Amino acid sequence: MIGKLKGSIEDIADDHVLIDVHGVCYVVSCSTRTLSRLGSAGEAVVLFIETYVREDQLRLFGFESALEREWFRLLQSVQGVGAKVALAVLSTLSPSDLANAIALQDKAMVARSPGVGPKVAQRIVTELKNKAPALSGDAGGAMGLKQELGEGVASAPIADAVSALSNLGYSRDQAATAVAAAMKQAGEEADSAKLIRLGLKELAR
């Protein structure tokens, strides 16, 4: 089982990169986002690898980070999502964007991925809504708040604060992140006015 490859870039194609590791070249399938962030031929490269072994093939999938690889695995736990669709999603959305889309139940954002229709996008945001916070790292508090907003169960002061910041021109995601940071300072019992004031300070940084 291959977990990581360190070598140099031999060649980059539309959907894969050829990595030379001490004279042995590996064909590694990647998302277009990952491929676009690689260097050019001859440059050093490090990719986290997911190894697929089937009766008729052995295939390597490469990722810029271990987190991206975990999302690749998690996406495939959704009914109807295989490696191709998972790569398409990760080609369109970064791990943080995907986590936000799931927390906010924004199926339209997920459906922007090539080959992902409304039904599959709906399954992704629904089936993964309780798993996304586990991959959110230090942003777990904000992710939990975004989930509450997505499910319509956030408290009135929180919902009002997010709505107010959104009306000022900030995206819902930016507003939710700012309010989550404000709650850390003011506490969960803070009223909407205080959350808005502290949220604006966060957004002004």
Report the mean per-residue pLDDT for the chain.
Answer: 83
Strands (E), 13-110: 16-21, 24-30, 44-53, 58-63
pLDDT tens readout for residues 42-51: 999 999 999 9
pLDDT at 197: 85
Q: Which residues contact 204 (CB under 8 A, 6 or more apart)?
A: none
| 136 dihedral zone (left: phi>0; alpha: psi -120 to 50; beta) | alpha
Mean pLDDT for 170-180 is 79
Q: Which residues contact 185 (CB under 8 A, 6 or more apart)?
A: 198
Identity of residue 203: L
- Looking at domain 154-203, does it have CATH number 1.10.8? yes
Portions of the chain given CATH number 1.10.150.20 = 66-137
Phi, psi of 52 (to 5 degrees): -110, 125
- Looking at domain 4-63, does it have CATH number 2.40.50.140? yes
Is pTM, for the whole model, over 0.75? no
Q: In terms of Cα–Cα distance, which of 58, 65, 83, 64 is closest to 73?
A: 83
pLDDT classification of 171: cutoffs 50, 70, 90: confident
Mean pLDDT for 67-88 is 91
Portions of the chain given CATH number 1.10.8 = 154-203
pLDDT at 50: 93
Portions of the chain given CATH number 2.40.50.140 = 4-63
- Looking at domain 66-137, does it have CATH number 3.30.450.20? no
pLDDT at 160: 83
Q: Is residue 68's pLDDT more than 60?
A: yes
